[in-house]
Structure 1
Amino acid sequence: MTEPTICVVIPVYNHEHAIGITVNRILERDLTVILVDDGSEPGCAKVLRTLADEHTDVILEVHPQNRGKGGAVKTGLTVAEKRGFTHALQVDADGQHDTADIPRFIDACQQRPDALICGIPDYDETVPRHRLIARYLTHVWVWINTLSLDIKDSMCGYRVYPLVATNHMLERIYTGERMNFDVEVLVKLHWEDVPIVNLPTKVQYPIDGVSHFNLLQDNVLITAMHTRLFFGMLIRLPKILMQNTRRKQTAEGNH
């Protein structure tokens, strides 16, 4: 199998104070960075343009209007594949992901290039407790909608996507474009029989203190997403059960 070629995709919306630090830490790893400006305000847009102008390994894509994190990630994944990469490491712009773990994600990808490598966050004391509770509720719904415990954490945006499988799914199957994307894309790739590899990683609260989670809008979108996924699971029930049985047999055979 061909050696994976990996780039980094970062969706950005008004994180001008943290993005420079995040990008510079990634560039130290000799990786190409694809920044997607998701309709940021002029101050942030200027910072992103400067980063792209100053670094040959930084590619900038711009959404004239805000589409949401999911929409920005979709653009980044499409650009990554068109640029000839086989895999894309998604990193959040706010500095919460530990870039020291990038070699571990790359190593996991090289060992399982067919799989989606998902970060399992090991939070420090900076994360609000109510967020941990909300995350657990979402995880329970994901376990129901996949009829498995394969996805240990569905909301961590630190992950490596196999681009051909992911973009092929996104072209055919609807996924949300805002905060619901991270969860929905995992469930639907699991339905598509893409293997999941879970990788623990340290996560801290955003270093710039900026969160774009809209309590009302995003909770409504996430509730609607879980409803869609539940009925989608019921429609696919026989197929999902067969896939899960095969995965279990394969895992037992490997052991």
Structure 2
Amino acid sequence: MTAPRSKVLIIMPAYNEQGVVGQVVEETLRALPGINVLVVSDGSRDGTAAEARTAGALVLELPVNLGVGGAMRAGFKFAVRGGYDVAVQVDADGQHNPLDVPRLVEQLDNHDLVIGARFAGVGDYSVSGPRKWAMKLLSGILSKTGGVRLTDTTSGFKAIGPRGLELFAEEFPAEYLGDTIEALVIAQRAGLRICQVPVTMRPRAGGVPSQGGWKLTVYLVRAMLALALAFLRPSPKLAPTPEETVS
């Protein structure tokens, strides 16, 4: 996308990431000079906010833990009110390589939402068990409903253009898996143009995985419930694109 870097905002939702968030912010600012980083401290009880500020990030502190969806909606509202044209969701644990951000943002010339996909022929990231089959099933369903092949519908690495920001500032869901599965359904039903870009996922630099142990055994059921609830929501409305207006 041709938007100036000053109009691009990196949004990092962070919960108790004191040990790594400063390092991730510093790496991101070095890799992407001229781009602002907003760390949304999601009710953190440690020094996440202080470490992020020291590293050079803007910081939004939420008084209670809302989860990734709630933190991201707050970040999208910040972006809209701050006059940003593009927001890029990046994890605060170091898994997302900031050098991949320009490749995602470039695709916003022709799309509204770009996913950094882990299972698209690049890298060796893999999952197994119930989570693997849930991801395959979800990707198949959302590829069919959206009319575009998607291999990683639970990726938290995404670039969002102006129409997506307008939508997500008001409609981004806070429920479990809402920031991935339900957000994609909302985007599809609002008519956003979606694509994916292959990326390599790096090992976590710190923090605690959101899923593990016995939680994986219920992942499939919860994922299917999240998908069903997404389709039950009323379809959001957005202003038409210039192309749609002309046609």
Q: TM-score, normalised by structure 2?
A: 0.78
Alpha-carbon contact 1:96-1:207 (below 8 Å) kept: yes
Taking the TM superposition and a 5 Å limit, the aligned residue runs for 1:57-72 are: 58-72=57-71
Report what 1:152 is aligned to.
Answer: 151
What is the deviation of 1:95?
0.8
What is the deviation of 1:231?
4.5
Report what 2:113 is aligned to.
Answer: 116
Structure 2 residue identity aligned to 1:38: D
Report what 1:18 is aligned to.
Answer: 20
Q: Distance in 2 between matches of 1:153 and 1:74?
A: 21
Q: Distance in 1 between matches of 2:11 and 2:61?
A: 13
Taking the TM superposition and a 5 Å limit, the aligned residue runs for 1:74-85 are: 74-85=73-84
Report what 1:37 is aligned to.
Answer: 41
Report what 1:212 is aligned to.
Answer: 210
Structure 2 residue identity aligned to 1:121: R
Alpha-carbon contact 1:34-1:80 (below 8 Å) kept: no
Alpha-carbon contact 1:36-1:61 (below 8 Å) kept: yes
What is the deviation of 1:191?
1.1
Q: Distance in 1 between matches of 2:136 and 2:66?
A: 26
* Per-residue Cα deviation, 1:30-51 (whole angstroms, up to 9, x for no partner): 1100110001122334323433
Report what 1:228 is aligned to.
Answer: 229
Does residue 48 (structure 1) correspond to residue 47 (structure 2)? The answer is no
Alpha-carbon contact 2:41-2:61 (below 8 Å) kept: yes
Structure 2 residue identity aligned to 1:37: S
Residue 64 and residue 220 in structure 1: after superposition, are their counterparts in 2 closer, same or farther (change >3 A)? farther
Identity of matched residues, %:
26
Q: Distance in 2 between matches of 1:141 and 1:204?
A: 27
Q: Distance in 1 between matches of 2:227 and 2:63?
A: 29
Structure 2 residue identity aligned to 1:223: M
What is the deviation of 1:139?
1.6
* Per-residue Cα deviation, 1:203-254 (whole angstroms, up to 9, x for no partner): 134222621237278766533221223445xx87xxxxxxxxxxxxxxxxxx
Alpha-carbon contact 2:112-2:163 (below 8 Å) kept: no
Q: TM-score, normalised by structure 1?
A: 0.76
Alpha-carbon contact 1:7-1:85 (below 8 Å) kept: yes
Residue 182 and residue 20 in structure 1: after superposition, are their counterparts in 2 closer, same or farther (change >3 A)? same
Alpha-carbon contact 2:22-2:54 (below 8 Å) kept: no
Q: Distance in 2 between matches of 1:125 and 1:196?
A: 24
Q: What is the total number of aligned residue pairs between the two structures?
A: 228
Alpha-carbon contact 2:40-2:61 (below 8 Å) kept: yes
What is the deviation of 1:189?
0.8
Indicate the RMSD between aligned Cα atoms, in angstroms: 3.1
* Per-residue Cα deviation, 1:164-213 (whole angstroms, up to 9, x for no partner): 44333552x47234433212111111111111121111113422262123
Q: Distance in 2 between matches of 1:25 and 1:174?
A: 28
Q: Distance in 1 between matches of 2:221 and 2:40?
A: 25
Report what 1:201 is aligned to.
Answer: 199
Alpha-carbon contact 1:180-1:222 (below 8 Å) kept: no
* Per-residue Cα deviation, 1:126-163 (whole angstroms, up to 9, x for no partner): 6442343332132234235x253443321111111124
Q: Distance in 1 between matches of 2:148 and 2:85?
A: 27
Q: Which runs of 5+ in 2 are unaligned?
A: 236-247
Q: Which moved more, 1:81-90 or 1:156-165?
A: 156-165
Q: Distance in 2 between matches of 1:66 and 1:77?
A: 17
